[in-house]
Amino acid sequence: MSRSDSRQHPAPGTVMTDPVRYPSGASSPVRTKRAFVLLLMTLLVPGSAQIVAGDRKLGRIALRVTLGVWVALVAAVLLLVLDRTLLINVITNPFASLLIIVLLVALAVGWALLFVNTLRIIKPVLLAPGARPAVVISLVMALVLSSGTLGYAAYLLNVGRNAIGNIFSGGPAIDPVDGRYNFLMMGGDAGDDRTGRRPDSLSVLSVDAKSGKTAIISVPRNLQNAQFSEGSPMRKIYPDGYNCGDECLINAINTEVTNEHTDLYPGVADPGAQATLEAVSGTLGLKVQAYVLVDMAGFAKLIDAMGGIKIKAGGWVPMSGFFDEATRTHGMPLGWIPAGEQTLDGEHALWYGRSREYVDDYSRIQRQQCVQQAMLKQLDPATLLSKFEDIANAGTKVVESNISSSQLGSFVDLAMKAKGQDIRRLTIGPPDFDPSFSTVPDFDVIHNKVDQLLAAASGPQAAAPVDGMVQAPPAAGTLQASAPLQPVAGQGAGGHSQQTPPPSSDFTPVTTTPDGEPITAELLNQLKRAGNEEAIRELVATNGQCAPL
């Protein structure tokens, strides 16, 4: 008799009274119960069914693997509690993540084979005909719950691994400067009507390396005479700043370098983005270490992948980018985004952040900040897990960065620390400076204000946060931590706004005309057809007000 036969047939003299190991002499109900118990044992403690009813050697191997997996899970939970950064770094490391993927696939296959072995131990031919379908269905469900879950986890981890490889660089890690990490966030459009990807929005996210306290500095796209940082190759061409005339706005640097000066940046993946980073660094007097560039043409895909964003809009926003330079008039909007609480899909969120008709660029900056805040606030772990594949796939088409993938763990951990803390902000334009400041900027003043902002952001909180922000009434020429602000009504000494902005969500959306008539898309379109754009400006003047919900 072979060894395999000895597992199925007892040695001479063995009493076959154990219905678990020898079901042939058991009653039909006992056999059915035995089948479901063995399936449950394989699901909860892989290998235990083989120990009690089958190949004990196979069972012992499976139990050792099961014990090893449990130990690894306990270690992961301990790391999550004690050193979350290390755990995230392990998961995002390309080699470690590949090893985890291989192990997950191996575990999924091994678990499936154990279920097949358990089915052989059950011996379906001994079951009552009515019980067989139920056992098979239970087996399939258990397979999906066990091996299917592990396989899907391996698939998602591979999706994330590919996204990290496509978005982030493999370069060296960066160190904090004066205790802070400074990232340049750019929103660029690479449409068919554009040469290169000209950033329409520029903002620096400055994060305390220990506490996660965050400050946002918004730089208007039309800032002139931008200063390149020391050591920048572009400083040799523009030693006195980017001052070649009205066309030399800070957002034109990307295109110029991409088209004319890539030779100055050998080995740099995106010379235009790097040159823009250097210009923002020199302009703010702040060492900016890395950039994240979001392609606005694909931005809508990322919003849709998240399931949309929720905001409170202060005024109506036109969905139109057409402007007739000859007549100085706007084209008929494709649609309108109403004031009040809104859930925006990708297309509407894109228009909400890019539209600047009937208002100035600074209202648009406020709306862009609001969209960014809504994304950060509403991309919670549940959303990320439930829509991970869509978000990751959208991100590879939308996001580009020179941040090293080796530091993702540290930065994700910082982002989690920053969530819920106050965010202080400064805009190099209204409401912190008058509208003309971007044309003839005083860089000493900018540097001083940036220093004040970061000193305040690194210190203790001055007030209780409201919607993740802090609001304090500012004195003339001082900085504020605030949410989206009202249009500037007055100016203080040095060209700085003296207006006290409202709390982050303490504003009433403008939904009626001064006469009390409801504002509708039809009313706004009638005013447009009548050529009464001044009336439209008055009705939509508050559309820079915005708060994430």
Name which of 309, 424, 302, 296 is nearest 375 in CA terms. 309
Residue 341: phi and psi, rounded to 5, are -75, 130
8 Å CB contact between 360 and 435? yes
Q: Left (φ > 0), alpha (ψ -120 to 50) or beta: where does 255 sit?
A: alpha
- At 327, the amino acid letter reads T
Name which of 207, 201, 192, 107 is nearest 150 in CA terms. 107
Structure pTM?
0.66
Going residue by residue through the chain, which has 549 residues, state the pLDDT in tens, using 9 for 90 and above.
Answer: 444 444 445 545 444 567 778 888 788 899 999 999 999 999 999 999 999 998 999 999 999 999 999 999 999 999 888 887 788 778 877 788 899 999 999 999 999 999 999 999 999 888 888 899 999 999 999 999 999 999 999 988 888 888 777 777 666 677 888 888 898 888 765 544 444 566 777 889 888 888 888 888 988 888 889 999 998 999 999 998 888 777 788 888 988 898 889 999 998 888 988 999 999 999 999 999 888 887 766 677 788 888 888 999 999 999 875 666 676 666 788 889 999 999 999 889 888 888 878 887 778 878 887 887 787 777 766 666 666 667 676 666 667 777 777 777 777 777 777 766 777 888 888 778 888 888 889 999 999 999 999 888 776 544 333 333 333 333 323 333 333 333 333 333 333 333 334 335 678 898 898 888 999 989 998 998 888 888 988 999 898 888 888
| Domain boundaries defined on the chain | 17-167, 180-548
Residue 256 has which token pair? 């110029």
Residue 483 has which token pair? 């949410």
* Omega of the bond leading into 431 within 30 degrees of 0 (cis): yes
Name which of 215, 258, 131, 269 is nearest 461 in CA terms. 215
Dihedral over alpha carbons 112, 118, 119, 122 (to 10 degrees): -170
Residue 113 has which token pair? 């084979």
> Cα(262)–Cα(278) distance, rounded to whole angstroms?
14
Task: Provide the b/e sequence for 239-274 (b: ≥16 CB within 10 Å).
Answer: eebbeeeeebbbbbbbbbbbeebeebbeeeebbbbb
> Cα(94)–Cα(96) distance, rounded to whole angstroms?
6
3-state SS assignment for residue 337: strand
Residue 289 has which token pair? 């270490």
* CATH superfamily of domain region 180-548: LCP protein (3.40.630.190)
